[in-house]
Homo-oligomer: A and B are copies of this chain.
Amino acid sequence: MPKRVDHAERRTEIAQALVRAAGRLGLHAVGMRDVAAEAGVSLRVVQYYFESKEKLLLFGLQYLAGRFGERVANRVRAAGDNPGPRAVIEALLTAALPVDEESRLFHHLYTSYAVLSVTDEALAAQPFIKDPDTAEITLTGLLQQANDAGLLEAGTDTRTEAVGLLAMSAGLGTSVLVGQRDAESAMAVLRYHLDRIFRS
């Protein structure tokens, strides 16, 4: 057989090609041939490593989620050396904002998948529920930690606050994505709201 190939690696390369092509054409418009061309392989190879387009799309979503998780973790770790949890929280919330090309791509495709999941039950079963839930738990924990340290305003419901902040971050991200607002002002809005939560 021709030089044995690492399937996992190959699949990842193709998934990266899918993500790039989808960023350029839109996830709805990308076909197997586009992915093949973007990856520099033949259509047959894409078919070989993913039996169907649906399998490819599902793997693409997993790949995307993994990459995004890494990005958030990096951001949080970079801010982790700072004195308080405020910096960590800010890093967590701004990680989802489309500030550079990579995060723009994340937001664009993640939203695309979310829209598709409304009418595609195979996608609806994917980690759209789980992943945001862990973000919610993490942020709630950070806020609770800040609250226990007496850093927050009195009467703060950390759970509700976390849900609201994450939704706000997602909403701001979308408005940045469609060009209604620039990334700078979106971050300013988030910082303002954190200022209202944290004790002055």
* CB <8 Å contact, B129 and A29: no
- Taking the closest CB of chain B, its distance from the CB of A126, in whole angstroms, is 10
Give the contacting residue for A160; candidates B114, B116, B178, B189; CB below 8 A. B189
Please measure, in the bound complex, the distance between the C-alpha atom of A133 and the C-alpha atom of B117, giving whole angstroms.
Answer: 28
Q: Is A192 located at the chain interface by the 8 A CB criterion?
A: yes
A interface residue count range (under 10 / 10 to 19 / 20 to 34 / 35 or more)? 35 or more
Q: Is A99 located at the chain interface by the 8 A CB criterion?
A: no
Complex contacts, A133 vs chain B, CB 8 Å:
180
Please measure, in the bound complex, the distance between the C-alpha atom of A28 and the C-alpha atom of B133, giving whole angstroms.
Answer: 28
Q: A112-B115, A115-B115, A160-B193 are in contact. List 18 more A-B contacts (CB 8 A).
A: A26-B116, A26-B119, A28-B115, A111-B111, A111-B174, A117-B178, A118-B177, A124-B179, A128-B180, A129-B179, A129-B180, A157-B192, A160-B188, A160-B192, A164-B190, A164-B192, A168-B168, A171-B172
**Minimum-distance CB pairs A-B, first 5:** A167-B171, A171-B171, A28-B28, A26-B119, A170-B171
